[in-house]
Amino acid sequence: MRSYRSLLCVLTLILAVPLTFVFATDEPKTIDTSKPAAPPAVKNALPAELEGHPPVTKQTRIELIRTMQAEFGFAKRLIPKGDKGLQLTSNGQIAPDDQTVASQVATYGPAAKPGEKLQITNVVIKSNEIVFDLNGGSKRRGHWYDHVEVGGGGGMVPAHQEKGINNPGCTLALIFPKYVPEMTANDVRKMLEPVIDFSVKSPTQAYVDTLPPKLKESIQNHQALVGMNKEMVMDALGRPPKRIRETDDNVDYEEWIYGAPPGDVQFVRFVNEEVVRVEHIQVGGDKIVKTAREVKVNPVTGAAILVDPNAPQVASAAAPADTAAPAATAEPRKQPAKPPSLRRAGEQTEEEALGKGKKAEPELGSKPIPAGGSTQEPEWGTKPAKPASTSAADPNFPEPMPPPSTDPH
């Protein structure tokens, strides 16, 4: 009887295990729906104000590069270092996403954090995109000796190991649907607003605002004035495409050349960091040359004031009174004082003591020595007397040597 009960218990346990497994495997699965699904990609399009604009022209390319290069702003999001960089479409889409950017920052480090100041160091305009280098760009500028290795039997070692070999900055590509349209620098700044904030004044704008109105207007209108320094000229005309160094009348000068024929060409000449000549050759052949000073810049403080080139020259306030006074009222000039002397008051010179008709005794060494044959000894310190003529009979003076003959025979 006991064995029968034991057998029933065993059978019951055997039958219960598969049922439990079946019930465990048939439990409903739960799906996590807390993460939102990725939004569908939005097609790139131009802003409404740029719709229908033609492709960018060569002159506009130059203006955009000149205006945006060296421009300052503040980062509005985390910008990583590295070669991949950021991509921004003309309608405001940013790639890659925040998670990928955080991974790149953890690997390469940040080029700029939100709120930090950054600078556009280079601008390249391609067919359908504008590439901006931020804080030096993604490519490290190395040296030729970085590729040199030295070593021997133990292996090769780089000859130069530079610290901080990581890429200094990042690149930002502004991508357009088909081509880069005709636009202004303000349009570019507006499209870059998701990444860079340009609302705060740049150092260039802050400096220009401190200048006189006419000088500020000249810089904004891209005009160079005589007397400007190099910083002002770069603010007005940008970096020169060509520079030459020459010498004129032993004066070294540097000339910046903007433009190329058949368009307008402008020559700006510098001497000691100051503009001394501006020559503008227009398309029609008209030439405008300015050499009169128009601006005066303090080399220490950098303050600038305008100078009227047609104003008459004013005499210096430190001029002597006798030169500025009229001739009728000028006092007679005083005789110059006698030069200083070591003689006592009332002491006479030798000439004054002997009188005008007498001659003073010759100085030491001026008495002649008696002629040859004389037994009189010369006094100490006298000079030998030179005979008036030499004679062949005089044994003390030998005959002169005859001149060399020029006859070849």
Confidence of residue 172 (pLDDT cuts 50, 70, 90): very high
**Identity of the amino acid at 231:** E
pLDDT for the residue 76: 87
Q: Which of 163-167, 215-219, 394-398 has the lowest mean pLDDT?
A: 163-167
Which three-class secondary structure state does DSSP give residue 243?
Answer: strand
pLDDT for the residue 10: 66
Q: Is it the case that residue 326 has pLDDT exceeding 80?
A: no
Distance between CA atoms of 327 and 157, rounded to whole angstroms? 86
Q: Is it the case that residue 394 has pLDDT exceeding 50?
A: yes
pLDDT for the residue 216: 84
The model's pTM: 0.43
Closest CA to 322 of 311, 335, 331, 312: 331
Q: What would the two tokens of residue 154 be? A: 């133990």
Distance between CA atoms of 165 and 169, rounded to whole angstroms? 12
Main-chain phi, psi angles of 366, to 5 degrees: -105, -5
DSSP-assigned letter for residue 198: -
